[in-house]
Amino acid sequence: MRKKIIAANWKMNMTQSEASSFLDTFLRELGDEKTVEVVIVPAFTALSKVSERLSNTQGVRLGAQNMSAEKSGAFTGEVSGAMLRELFVRYVILGHSERRSLYGETDAVVNRKLHAAVEATLKPIVCIGETLEQRDAGDVEKVLAAQLKGSLAGLTAKEIHDAVLAYEPVWAIGTGRTATPEQAQEAHAFIRKTVGELFDETTSAKMRIQYGGSVKPNNTEALMRQPDIDGALVGGASLEARAFAEIVHATARCA
Ligand code: 13P
């Protein structure tokens, strides 16, 4: 049984004080929901505040939005895996489409970061997904297979034991246009099959695959009821504490 995992990718939003008031409301609304794993992924500057607030909250984990592939040294503006670990960060998002399209992160870069994350004992959330042009050209499977192969290169099944994948079709991110549950399921089933080919059946059966792209309280259940959708990576709707709690509760109803 794969435990469903819902992550709040706050992107470049939420100061420390905004994060704090979000958590006041969110944790109250969440109650003692334990069937779903929840991950809060703030900007680097709010990590320590959120970490402190979550230290006695069971079942809500902390994640980072990015990390360096390097261990330490002269890399101005970068943050290492060890720095994140010290703040009790458990998860790290790698290869988000905004990192890929705005900051030139290739599969090779994502792969180097993934190796660094594994070494730092951070659980990676590796993002993949096609653009609208690629979908219209009928290239969805080709794109996803190439991203998986490139991003996961050189890792063993044991090393990606704790990894999570996130299928985020670029055309559904921040657009209000969600993939239909059937479109998402089709992509997730293909991703799972490909993981089986790259590693083994046990790994693919265990691998959690999140969907991301305009997830809202009112479309969560239909997505989460699909057999290969194991959670969501939520952007816009994760900035509103009540909406995000509602997404977690809707997921719990499908767990
Ligand atoms: P939205 O939920 O705002 O579409 O963002 C999705 C996303 O990019 C999560 O990582």
pLDDT at residue 58 above 90?
Answer: no
| Cα–Cα distance for residue pair 135/248, rounded to 1 Å | 29
| Cα–Cα distance for residue pair 78/84, rounded to 1 Å | 11
User: pLDDT band at residue 57, thresholds of 50, 70 and 90?
Assistant: confident
- One DSSP character per residue, 150-194 reads HHTTT--TTTTTT-EEEE--GGGTTSS-PPPHHHHHHHHHHHHHH
Burial of 48 (0-12, 13-18, 19+ CB in 10 A): middle
pLDDT at residue 60 above 90?
Answer: yes
Nearest CA to ligand 1 atom 7: 235
According to CATH, what is the number of the domain 5-252?
3.20.20.70
* Count of alpha carbons within 13 angstroms of residue 61, beta-carbon side: 18
List all residues whose CB is within 6 A of at least one atom of ligand 1: 9, 96, 168, 173-174, 212-215, 233-237
The closest of 76, 90, 77, 87 to 7, measured between CA atoms, is: 90
- The domain spans of the chain are 5-252
pLDDT at residue 92 above 90?
Answer: yes
Give tens-digit pLDDT for 130-143: 999 999 999 999 99
Average pLDDT in the 111-123 region? 98
User: pLDDT band at residue 5, thresholds of 50, 70 and 90?
Assistant: very high
| Cα–Cα distance for residue pair 186/141, rounded to 1 Å | 10
| Cα–Cα distance for residue pair 104/78, rounded to 1 Å | 15
Q: Which atom of ligand 1 is the closest one to the Cα of 98?
A: 8
User: pLDDT band at residue 1, thresholds of 50, 70 and 90?
Assistant: confident
Percent of the chain having pLDDT more than 90?
A: 95
Average pLDDT in the 42-64 region? 95
Average pLDDT in the 217-228 region? 98
| Cα–Cα distance for residue pair 118/123, rounded to 1 Å | 7
Annotated catalytic residues are: 96, 168
In angstroms, what is the span from residue 235 Cα to ligand 1's centroid? 3
pLDDT at 255: 83
| Cα–Cα distance for residue pair 65/53, rounded to 1 Å | 18
Residue 16 C-alpha from the chain's centroid: 21
Average pLDDT in the 45-67 region? 95
C-alpha dist (Å) from residue 68 to 78, 94, 109, 180: 6, 10, 10, 34
In the predicted model, what is the mean pLDDT of the chain?
97
pLDDT at residue 96 above 90?
Answer: yes
pLDDT at 59: 82
In angstroms, what is the span from residue 126 Cα to ligand 1's centroid? 14
Neighbours of 86 (CB within 10 A): 11
In angstroms, what is the span from residue 138 Cα to ligand 1's centroid? 23
Average pLDDT in the 40-47 region? 98
pLDDT at 117: 98
Give tens-digit pLDDT for 163-222: 999 999 999 998 888 889 999 999 999 999 999 999 999 999 999 999 999 999 999 999
| Cα–Cα distance for residue pair 3/208, rounded to 1 Å | 8
pLDDT at 80: 98
Lowest mean pLDDT segment, chosen from 2-6, 55-59, 75-79, 200-204: 55-59
In angstroms, what is the span from residue 74 Cα to ligand 1's centroid? 32
Residue from 214, 220, 246 whose mutation best tests the ligand 1 pocket (most atoms within 8 A of CB): 214
Nearest CA to ligand 1 atom 2: 235
pLDDT at residue 56 above 90?
Answer: no
